[in-house]
A and B are shown apart, each in its own frame.
Chain A
Amino acid sequence: MERSITTTPSTRRWPTKVAPLLAALLLPLLLAAAPACARDYLQLFVMQPYLELHTGPGRGYPVTQVVARGEAVDVLMRRTEWFKVRTEHGIEGWAYEGDLVRTTLADGSAFQINLGDRAGFASHRWESGAFGGAYEGATLISAYQALSLTDHLKIELSGSQFIGNLSNGYLLDIGFSHVFMPNWRLSPFVTLGGGYERVEPKPTLAQPLSSSNETAYVGVGVRCYLARRLFLRGELRGHEVFTNQNSNEVKNEWKLGFAFFY
């Protein structure tokens, strides 16, 4: 079989005058059918003795088909560590990523993906997470999103809500974190940044005036790889709140939660 990068046939050029007319007539149909036909699929070639296809995206789903060595599959979509593929005979099934990394692309190079393992934990692009904790005695709920500039350096955006006996409020922070040993299962990091704090005293108090202040923070934390793409993250932060009063305030925050990378 002759190899090609995609299984989609080459497109034919229509005469210039006919193309707009056809486009106008067929646009509704094209829009309706776009998800089904307008996509090129990655083609992989089976190099191992056979590739097992499961009925669903999970290890417990039964294997009902296999693809023989040398045959090709089109990769239709990915869900977690499972890939839905279609064989040359039109049979669809789910292949495990651990099996697909033993296939090759059309040019003979190995098919490489981030498996979400320890190597992926050390080197990835995005991560997100959610935490519970405390901010100066108030209960804290927090979420964050980080973009990896390098394996060590990340830029982070976090939003938090704190709920206390005397006041509630919000935090919005942006800053950098530096992971010292990203390839360690338990890897420490430091953070540095600034943000914004809004405090809303409860209306039962005598001074129900809300306040908004800029902040700067510094913190330390640790990340612990748990399972595929999932890790624990704990952090301590000290916030310097720039108030309108004579002196600034220092507020402490701790939080612990789960995060995932992708």
Chain B
Amino acid sequence: MTKQGWTMSRSSTGLLLLAAVLSVVGSGCGSGRVAGPEPDLAAAEKLREVLTAGEVAGETNVVAAATGTGWATLKGRFVFAGTPGDKRPLVVDKDMAVCSKDGLKLYDESLRVDPATKGLADVVLFVRKASRVKNPVSTDPLVFDQKNCEFLAPVFAARVGQPVDVRNSDPIGHNTNISGSSFNQLIPSGEATVYTPNAETGMPVSVTCNIHPWMKAYAVFRKDGYVAVSLVDGSFAIPDLPAGEPLEFQVWHARSAGGLKLDQPALQWSPKGRFQVTLQPDEVKDLGTLEVPAAALGG
């Protein structure tokens, strides 16, 4: 009896152990995904009623049309406060006969500082919302060219509806891929194609070539056309801005993430890279030299 009892309890222990293991395994393993916050279901119900109710008398987001007259110009100059490091060489592994011809080396042009004037090129400024526009959309095409396996303009700006003449001055074919617009077109050597942006970008979008993946540029398209890209010496000018209303400008550089943040309390420069000015009719407002610290272009 004792021997039998002992045998029984050994097998029952074994069974319980097995059951324990099975229940652990059976409960499954977690998925490891970060779950976002839960929605507020009550608020969602109320919001759904609002959305399905048709026209609602409530707060609308309409900004009261500013009543100003006249036009003004804004200008300034960006300088880089710091020493730009050596430019990063690009890896060129296709069509070397053209792209590495005669020892040609290609570099990352996202930070272009003029050694003489310390001017910072390729800074983009645009007006976020303008109530009125002076000039209609120009039908003169803006030329955007590529040669020696790089885009000749690291950053270019155009107005929505303005034709952009995308050219290829290389002896080899390229394709130009403007992200966000689904424009990705083959451009044979020596030929050109016209791209007319039909929607404005928020911030600038990247332009690449899929045949030569190291090629990169940026493009920004705005409806009102109040956009400028700083030149080699860092200077910019935006003419024909509507006077008499507060204009909020967004500033961007390829090396700054989400807006170029400068320390300019006089202009109330926001952390999102924005500042506001109100211009008088026929005023030419010179913002002067705007210093861009190296830290702002660290990202």
Mutual binders A and B: no
